[in-house]
Structure 1
Amino acid sequence: MKKIFIFFISMIYLNGCSCFVGSRQNVSIMTNVPNSKIFANGEMVGHGTAMFSAKRNQNVQIMAQAEGYYPAYSMIDSNLSTTGILDLVGIFVWLVPFIGLLTPGSKALDRQNVAVELVPVQQVPDLFKEHDFTLCTYSASFHNFSAAYCSSTEFD
């Protein structure tokens, strides 16, 4: 009888853990350019290195930009956290954890530390200025990856 009582009490106190987890999570962002501006979801959060608090249950889009560099982008996704998984498992034993899944504490950001590398804009060499060349510049980004591609074409 004592084991059943302990089991019952532990189910009450251990389920719905996500309710007790904070709704925000700290994120640290670092770039390779000290004077770069760092934006998170469109709001400026710092220069070169930034630390801010983000909502656990929302994705975070990060952009870094500096003069003479292509903008760089990174994305942090929000997924079910460990406490959210425990609440999900607890639903099958006791229905109380369902409340925890409705709170932001049931989610967590994939990464807390993000490094964003800015790529310098390439200057046109004097050799290209003497000829009739067209420089094509393309900037692409995918999560942590930013790249710049430059090519030249000669016209007759």
Structure 2
Amino acid sequence: MKKIVIFLLSIFLLNGCAAMFNGTTQQVAIRSHNPKAKIYVNDMYLGQGDVVTSFKKKNAYTIRVEQEGCNAITIPVSKSFDPTTLLGTFIDLGIVSIFVVDGIGTGAWQQFDQTSYVLDAKCPA
């Protein structure tokens, strides 16, 4: 019985509310009007035209779109506070669930402001 109680407590303490309800990653779609435009995230090539990828909430990202004969465009991906994180105050007053798990451990206390982008390189007229 003692092992079951310890196991259940560890599940609650090792998962913050934002991580439990909204996960530690978000799926992001990036699209260009030109199907031959090259799409990069953090300087890593992902594909041409349309891509779908998963962003870890803990990391920072930039998206770059390049097209032959055009100037590349680069934008940072913005994040904001995920209010679901505040539910951790009911578990352990937020000491472990918010600061340690959702904040430092997983970054789940943030969420990406956009999950869909349409970007085109700047081409001369």
Q: TM-score if structure 1 supplies the norm length?
A: 0.58
Query: What 5-or-longer segments of structure 2 have no aligned partner?
Result: 1-11
Partner of 1:18: 18
Structure 1 position 57 matched with structure 2 position 61: no
Q: 1:80, CA displacement in angstroms?
A: 1.9
Q: Please give the residue correspondences for 1:27-106 in structure 2 after superposition, counting only pairs within 5 Å.
A: 27-87=28-88, 90=90, 93=93, 95=95, 97-98=97-98, 99-102=100-103, 103-106=106-109
Query: C-alpha deviations, 1:16-65, integer Å up to 9, x for none?
Result: 31242422211111112110100001111110111111111222100000
**Bigger radius of gyration, 1 or 2?**
1
Q: TM-score if structure 2 supplies the norm length?
A: 0.70
Q: Indicate the structure whose relative CO is greater, using CA pairs within 8 Å and at least 6 residues apart.
A: 2
Structure 2 contact 17–102 (Cα < 8 Å) conserved: no
Query: What 5-or-longer segments of structure 1 have no aligned partner?
Result: 1-11, 123-156
Partner of 2:110: 107
> 2:94, 2:34 → 1: CA distance?
52
Q: 1:94 to 1:84 in 2, by over 3 A?
A: closer
Structure 2 contact 17–86 (Cα < 8 Å) conserved: no
> 1:118, 1:39 → 2: CA distance?
12
C-alpha RMSD over aligned residues: 2.6
Deviating runs (4+, > 6 A) in structure 1? none
Q: 1:119, CA displacement in angstroms?
A: 2.1
Q: 1:94 to 1:108 in 2, by over 3 A?
A: closer
Q: Give the structure with the larger strand fraction.
A: 1
Identity %: 22
